[in-house]
Amino acid sequence: MSRRFALLSFTALALVAGCAPKPKTVAVVAPPVVAAPVAAPAMPKGASPTMVIPVALPDGTYPTPNRNLTPAAKVWHLRAALNVAALACRGPQEGAIIASYNAMLSAQKPVLAKAEATYASEWKSGGRDWQDRYDDAMTRLYNFFSQSPARDDFCAAASTVLAQSAGVTAEAMPAFAAQQLPTLERPFTDFYRAFDAWRGRATPAPVYAQQPRPVLASRQYASNMTVQTITQARLQPISQPVPPPQPRLKLDPSVFQ
């Protein structure tokens, strides 16, 4: 083969190769990632679409009657919470709660009496209308712990707290109250949080804005604040207010519905 022929052949092959179609580059697009649907929170047990709860604070907590308390107030609020449990909790744990509550009253009688007197003096220092303000505060406190949507969890918490109180000394009772009061409050704030999650917003209406006006505590209760034990014979069906053996704080009957 001559050199000229070889050169022509190479040139022809180059021209053919240059005319051949170039392979196309196809971009591969990954299929879109479809997020799994997130189930909407269910409305909490015992809630209703129109119910009113407290507005959550900026730190995510909720305002309750148990905020910013003195040591004496914590002891007295603990007693109030357990008093509601003894009156309102029903079912298999009822007898144990009543027995444990009465045992606590007996074992901690001096501590409770001192807390009661100290707490009353703290209110008195606020001015001449202290009695009305105290009565209103006690009514709000009892009504708070009587909210029925959280009752099952509250009664379970109260049963645990009362069982633990059996070994608490008088000296340790204030610290015990400070530690356990949040435990008794948590079922209600957990309910608020679940309701807010269901409703999908963080700023519900104020707690008492649409509620019936609370029943005010009897003045005679505040002037004769004696701690009474609870017996099963004194308890009425849960749909009715509990008539006390002596003048005491009156509860809104609706909280026992």
Q: Which has the closest alpha carbon to 109: 175, 235, 245, 117?
A: 117
- Does residue 255 surpass a pLDDT of 50? no
Cα-based angle 63, 198, 146 (whole degrees, multiple of 5): 45
Confidence band (pLDDT; 50, 70, 90) for 84? Answer: very high
Cα-based angle 235, 236, 237 (whole degrees, multiple of 5): 130
Domain boundaries, the chain: 71-256
More confident residue, 7 or 27: 27
**How many helical (H) and strand (E) elements, i.e. helices and strands, does the chain have?**
8, 0
- Does residue 249 surpass a pLDDT of 60? no
Residue 99: per-residue pLDDT:
96
Distance CA 101, CA 79 (A): 9
For the segment 41-71, what is each residue's pLDDT rounded down to a tens digit? 777 777 777 788 888 899 888 999 999 999 9
Residue 213: per-residue pLDDT:
40
Q: Which has the closest alpha carbon to 47: 240, 156, 197?
A: 197
Mean pLDDT of 172-187: 96
Q: Which has the closest alpha carbon to 211: 152, 153, 255, 250?
A: 255
- Does residue 162 surpass a pLDDT of 60? yes
Stated pTM of the model: 0.66
Query: Token pair 């900026």 is at which residue?
Result: 58
Mean pLDDT of 78-94: 95
Confidence band (pLDDT; 50, 70, 90) for 181? Answer: very high
Distance CA 89, CA 82 (A): 10
The two tokens of residue 34 are: 């479809």
Distance CA 87, CA 67 (A): 24
